Amino acid sequence: MHRSSNEPALQCDACGAEIDGEPGGHGLLVFVRGDEVVREEPPLCERCALAISVTALQRWEMEEDDG
């Protein structure tokens, strides 16, 4: 990838696609480093943001069913 612009292109954290403009959403990663909790919100393309939010909803519904 060759870019002359100083602005680095955003890349989807899930599929690696270049994001043109605003990201479709953000994932949420939580790491625990020692006593510290580190949160990262990697950019996602629209497709992955949608897919991940749908997955999260389905998981939530399954958990509801379980109880």
For Zn ion, which is the closer residue by CB, 54 or 61?
54
For Zn ion, which is the closer residue by CB, 9 or 15?
15
Q: Give the whole-angstrom CA distance, residue 44 versus residue 26.
A: 5
- What is the DSSP secondary structure assignment for residue 54, as one 8-state letter? H
For Zn ion, which is the closer residue by CB, 18 or 61?
18
Least separation in angstroms between residue 64's CB and Zn ion is: 28
Q: Which residues bind Zn ion (CB under 5 A)?
A: 12, 14-15, 17, 45, 48
- What is the DSSP secondary structure assignment for residue 24, as one 8-state letter? S
